Amino acid sequence: MKSPKTHLFFTQKLLHWNRSSNDRAMPWKFEKDPYKIWLSEIILQQTRVEQGTSYYNEFVKKYPTIRLLAKAPESEVFKLWEGLGYYSRCRNLLATAQQITQERKGQFPDQYADILQLKGIGPYTAAAIASFAYNLPYAVVDGNVMRVLSRFFGIQTPIDSAEGKKQFAVLADQLLPKDQPALYNQAIMDFGATVCKPQSPHCSRCPLRAQCHAFQQNKVDHFPVKEKRLVKKNRYFFYLIASYKDQYYVRQRLQKDIWQHLYEFILFEEPKLMQPDDFIHLGKLQQWLGKKAKMVHASSLQKQTLTHQTIAGHFIHFQLHAPLQSNEYTPINLRQLSQLAFPKFIAQYMAANKHLL
């Protein structure tokens, strides 16, 4: 481990960079309301700032206080979240808002340990809320921070190992100036996002480069070290969009799987990808359609890449001559359809094919 002098160099250079060169603007920056900080942090888990900003603005506009969020119908909150993915965040958001409203009269906890107890909040988010809202001395440690520290200090311990997580947490805590935790945390997060980026970091204009291990050893690409390689699973979805008069058949996904609580059309998951014609020839649609149903459209190949899975498939539209008999799928009209939250795979398709609905 490097000397306290190196620690001081790191902290001072970083804070100087923050004062002189950090022009990263985000609507929640310098926010002191723990509710809004929490909202922004939950939205930003797994989401880029560029994508998350409009969602944050919409949420704050519609639910300016935690009490208003707690009172909102679940379907309305999910609709606002539509397109962001990782819907467990949305479920936790609502559950936590309701818990704080009922048990704490809408007052967000102001101690790190209490914040950490809330659903969907881990050490990183708890440290962000504790430091930004209350200026408590807790260092944030996320992927951005670990990347910066691993490169600068030349740490080989994998960032996704238990040992690595502990090591980075200890180091981050040692580096944190206890008299200005909010400022320092914001600085290192912004620095990781704009200078010491995952790809093509701006080493040539980096104020840390004189003592950066990775830069000095010409090994920036070697850090951070990761233990596990992500293996993506391929899944093939064929959606039957069946309509009878102005009614479409949908269901809510309740099983423990991706897109839980979101809505979908009639789904057939297949072990391999096929052309729509080949899928229709499997004969699986017959039980749903009746003899006189008419096919009106089959889509081109649609794809969505998630963190652990790639979804590919087609949408096939049929007009029915009689209502569908199903306990699983419910008929709804176009106006109701527009109020439900669908996974991005479906929502994007519907947005691009309004003329077919």
**Structure-block tokens of residue 193:** 């996002």
Q: Shortest Cβ distance from residue 207 to ligand SF4 (Å)?
A: 8
Q: Shortest Cβ distance from residue 205 to ligand SF4 (Å)?
A: 9
Q: Shortest Cβ distance from residue 25 to ligand SF4 (Å)?
A: 21
Q: How many chain residues bind ligand SF4 (CB under 6 A)?
A: 15
**CA pair distance 36, 59, nearest whole angstrom:** 9
Q: Shortest Cβ distance from residue 113 to ligand SF4 (Å)?
A: 32
Q: Shortest Cβ distance from residue 171 to ligand SF4 (Å)?
A: 14
3-class SS string, 151-174: HHHCCCCCCCCHHHHHHHHHHHHH
Residue whose token pair is 């691993």: 150
Q: Which residue, 193 or 337, is less far from ligand SF4 as judged by CB?
A: 193
List binders of ligand SF4 among 176-235 (CB under 6 A).
195-196, 201-203, 206, 208-209, 212, 214-215, 220
Considering all CA atoms of the chain, what is the largest pairwise distance in Å, rounded to the nearest integer? 80
**Structure-block tokens of residue 52:** 């998350």
**Structure-block tokens of residue 10:** 């790191």
Question: DSSP E strands: which ranges in the chain?
Answer: 233-244, 247-252, 263-264, 266-270, 294-298, 302-305, 309-319, 330-332
Q: Which of 41, 58, 82, 264 is catalytic?
A: 41
Phi, psi of 47 (to 5 degrees): -130, 140
Q: Which residue, 215 or 248, is less far from ligand SF4 as judged by CB?
A: 215
Q: Is 37 exposed, middle or buried (0-12, 13-18, 19+ CB in 10 A)?
A: buried
DSSP code at position 51:
H
Residue type (1 letter), 260: Q
Q: Which residue, 136 or 195, is less far from ligand SF4 as judged by CB?
A: 195
List binders of ligand SF4 among 133-152 (CB under 6 A).
148, 151-152
**Structure-block tokens of residue 339:** 């109020």
Q: Which residue, 212 or 266, is less far from ligand SF4 as judged by CB?
A: 212
Q: Which residue, 150 or 243, is less far from ligand SF4 as judged by CB?
A: 150
Torsion angle in degrees (nearest 10) through CA of 291, 333, 56, 124: -50
Query: Using N-to-C axis directions, what is the helix angle for 181-194 and 143-153, rounded to 10°?
Result: 80
Q: Which residue, 199 or 255, is less far from ligand SF4 as judged by CB?
A: 199
Q: Which residue, 220 or 225, is less far from ligand SF4 as judged by CB?
A: 220
List binders of ligand SF4 among 321-340 (CB under 6 A).
none
Do residues 297 and 316 make contact, with C-beta atoms less than 8 angstroms apart? yes
Q: Shortest Cβ distance from residue 84 to ligand SF4 (Å)?
A: 29
**CA pair distance 115, 130, nearest whole angstrom:** 8
Q: How far is CA 184 from the centre of its chain?
A: 24
Q: Shortest Cβ distance from residue 1 to ligand SF4 (Å)?
A: 17
Q: Which candidate, 10, 15, 17, 19, places its Cα nearest to that of 210? A: 10
Q: Is 103 a catalytic residue?
A: no
Give counts: helices (H), strands (E), the chain.
16, 8
Q: Is 175 in the site for ligand SF4 (CB under 6 A)?
A: no
Task: Give the SS3 label for residue 108.
Answer: coil
Interacting residue ranges for ligand SF4, rule: CB under 6 A? 148, 151-152, 195-196, 201-203, 206, 208-209, 212, 214-215, 220
Active-site residue numbers?
Answer: 41
